[in-house]
Structure 1
Amino acid sequence: MCLTGVDYFSTLGYQPGIAFLAAGILSPLATLVLVLVTLLVALPVYRQVAARSPNGQGSIVMLEQLLPRWKGKTFVLCLLGFALTDFVITITLSAADATAHILENPYVPKAFDHPVGITLLLLSALGAVFLKGFREAVWIALLFVSTYLVLNGIVLVVGLYEVYLHPESFLNWRNTVFASYSSPWMMLGVSFILFPRLALGLSGFETGVAVMPLVRGDFGDTSLDPVGRIRNTQKLLLTAGLIMSVFLIGSSFITTLLIPAEAFAEGHEANGRALAYLAHKYLGDKFGTLYDLSSIFILWFAGASAMAGLLNLVPRYLPPYGMAPEWAKARRPLVIVFVMITFAITLLFQADVDAQGGAYATGVLFLMSSAAVAVTMANWRTPLGRIYLLMTLVFVYTTIANMVERPEGIKIASFFIAAIVLTSLLSRIIRATELRIHTVELSENAQKMIEEISDQGVRIIAHRPDKRTPEEYDKKERQAREDHSLDSGEPIIFLEVSQGDASEFRDSLIVKGMNVGRHRVLRCKSPAIPNAIAALLLHLRDTTGKIPHAYFGWTEGNPITYVLKYLALGEGDTAPVTREVLRRRVANPLERPRIHVG
Structure 2
Amino acid sequence: MSEQSGSPAEPGKPHHESFWLWVMCLTGVDYFSTLGYQPSIAYENAGLLAPLATIVLVLVTLFGALPIYWYVCGRSHTGQGSIGMLANLVSGWGGKVLVLVLLGFAATDFVITKTLSAADAAVHLIQNPHWPLEVPSDAEKTRQAIYVTAFLLVLLGASFMRGFREVIGLAVVIVGTYMVLCGVVIGAGVVHLTENPEPFYQLIAHVRAGEWHLRESDRPLSGTGPFTILAISLLIFPKLALGLSGFETGVAVMPLVKGRAGDDTKEPVGRIRNTRKLLITAAVTMSLYLICSSIVVACLVPPGHLTKADAAGVERAEIPDSDLKAKDRALAYLAHGENPGPDGRPMKLLPFFGEWFGTIYDLSTVVILWFAGASAMAGLLNLVPQYLPRYGMAPEWSRATRPLVLLFTVINLVVTLVFRANVDAQSAAYATGVLVLMTSAGVASVIDIWQRRPGRWYRRLSWPFLFITLVFIYTTIANVYEKPDGIKIAGFFILTILVTSFWSRWARSRELRFAGFKIPDAESRLMWDTIRDFELSVLVPHRPGRRSLANKEAQIRREHRIPRDLMIVFVEVELADASDFVNEPVLHVTQEEGRYVVKITGAASIAHTLAALALEMAKVGRPPEVHFGWTDDSPVSGTLGFLLFGEGNVPWMVRDLIRRAQPDETKRPVIIIAGTA
* Corresponding position of 1:362: 432
C-alpha distance in structure 2 between counterparts of 1:511 and 1:260, whole Å: 73
C-alpha distance in structure 2 between counterparts of 1:313 and 1:459, whole Å: 44
| Alignment map for 1:479-498 (pairs within 5 Å) | 479-498=555-574
C-alpha distance in structure 1 between counterparts of 2:270 and 2:518, whole Å: 36
The 1:51/1:202 distance shift into structure 2, 3 A limit, reads same
Instruction: Indicate which of 375, 382, 397 corresponds to 2:445.
Output: 375
C-alpha distance in structure 2 between counterparts of 1:228 and 1:452, whole Å: 48
Superposed CA deviations along residues 108-159 of structure 1, whole A, max 9, x for unmatched, are 1234741111111111101111111111110111000000000001001111
Please report the RMSD computed on the Cα atoms of aligned residues, expressed in angstroms: 1.4
Instruction: Indicate which of 256, 267, 273 corresponds to 1:225.
Output: 267
Per the TM alignment, residue 169 of structure 1 is displaced from its structure 2 partner at its CA by 1.0
Superposed CA deviations along residues 406-465 of structure 1, whole A, max 9, x for unmatched, are 111100111111111111111111111211111124454444445555343111111122
C-alpha distance in structure 2 between counterparts of 1:584 and 1:434, whole Å: 8
Task: Say whether 1:116 aligns with 2:146.
Answer: yes
C-alpha distance in structure 2 between counterparts of 1:83 and 1:142, whole Å: 25
Q: More displaced, 217-226 or 293-302?
A: 217-226
- Structure 2's unaligned 5+ residue stretches are 1-23, 136-140, 211-222, 308-320, 338-347, 454-458
* Corresponding position of 1:329: 399
Superposed CA deviations along residues 220-258 of structure 1, whole A, max 9, x for unmatched, are 211111111111111100000000001000110001111
Q: More displaced, 248-257 or 459-468?
A: 459-468
Instruction: Indicate which of 227, 235, 239 corresponds to 1:193.
Output: 235
> Is this contact kept in 2: 1:456–1:491, CA < 8 A?
no
| Alignment map for 1:399-548 (pairs within 5 Å) | 399-442=476-519, 443-452=521-530, 454-466=533-545, 472-525=548-601, 526-542=603-619, 544-548=620-624
* Corresponding position of 2:5: none
C-alpha distance in structure 1 between counterparts of 2:126 and 2:529, whole Å: 77
* Corresponding position of 2:199: 169
C-alpha distance in structure 1 between counterparts of 2:378 and 2:540, whole Å: 49
Q: More displaced, 65-74 or 436-445?
A: 436-445
Superposed CA deviations along residues 76-128 of structure 1, whole A, max 9, x for unmatched, are 11100000000000000000000000001011123474111111111110111
Per the TM alignment, residue 509 of structure 1 is displaced from its structure 2 partner at its CA by 2.7
C-alpha distance in structure 2 between counterparts of 1:452 and 1:410, whole Å: 59
Counterpart secondary structure, 2:540: strand
> How many residues are aligned here?
594
Per the TM alignment, residue 515 of structure 1 is displaced from its structure 2 partner at its CA by 1.8
Counterpart secondary structure, 1:18: helix
Larger helix percent: 1
Superposed CA deviations along residues 531-559 of structure 1, whole A, max 9, x for unmatched, are 111111111111x2221111111111212
* Corresponding position of 1:238: 280
Instruction: Indicate which of 62, 69, 87 corresponds to 1:64.
Output: 87
Per the TM alignment, residue 71 of structure 1 is displaced from its structure 2 partner at its CA by 2.1
Per the TM alignment, residue 279 of structure 1 is displaced from its structure 2 partner at its CA by 0.3
| Alignment map for 1:196-275 (pairs within 5 Å) | 196-265=238-307, 266-267=321-322, 268-275=324-331
C-alpha distance in structure 2 between counterparts of 1:386 and 1:557, whole Å: 50
Instruction: Indicate which of 301, 315, 336 corresponds to 2:371.
Output: 301
Task: Say whether 1:4 aligns with 2:27.
Answer: yes
| Alignment map for 1:562-577 (pairs within 5 Å) | 562-577=638-653
> Is this contact kept in 2: 1:440–1:535, CA < 8 A?
no
C-alpha distance in structure 1 between counterparts of 2:237 and 2:156, whole Å: 32
Task: Say whether 1:553 aligns with 2:629.
Answer: yes
Amino acid paired to 2:206: T
Q: Percent identity?
A: 50
TM-score (norm 2): 0.86
Instruction: Indicate which of 166, 169, 176 corresponds to 1:146.
Output: 176
C-alpha distance in structure 2 between counterparts of 1:28 and 1:177, whole Å: 11
* Corresponding position of 2:6: none
Counterpart secondary structure, 1:270: coil
Counterpart secondary structure, 1:216: coil
Counterpart secondary structure, 1:416: helix
C-alpha distance in structure 2 between counterparts of 1:384 and 1:397, whole Å: 20
> Is this contact kept in 2: 1:203–1:364, CA < 8 A?
yes
C-alpha distance in structure 2 between counterparts of 1:596 and 1:551, whole Å: 5
C-alpha distance in structure 2 between counterparts of 1:455 and 1:350, whole Å: 70
Counterpart secondary structure, 1:597: strand
> Is this contact kept in 2: 1:456–1:490, CA < 8 A?
no
Amino acid paired to 1:364: V
Task: Say whether 1:277 aligns with 2:354.
Answer: no
Per the TM alignment, residue 384 of structure 1 is displaced from its structure 2 partner at its CA by 6.6
Instruction: Indicate which of 23, 42, 54 corresponds to 2:77.
Output: 54
* Corresponding position of 2:356: 286
Counterpart secondary structure, 2:545: coil
C-alpha distance in structure 1 between counterparts of 2:377 and 2:518, whole Å: 39
Per the TM alignment, residue 62 of structure 1 is displaced from its structure 2 partner at its CA by 1.0
* Corresponding position of 2:17: none
C-alpha distance in structure 2 between counterparts of 1:489 and 1:547, whole Å: 18
> Is this contact kept in 2: 1:25–1:173, CA < 8 A?
yes
- Structure 1's unaligned 5+ residue stretches are none
Amino acid paired to 2:190: L
> Is this contact kept in 2: 1:65–1:72, CA < 8 A?
no
Per the TM alignment, residue 480 of structure 1 is displaced from its structure 2 partner at its CA by 1.3
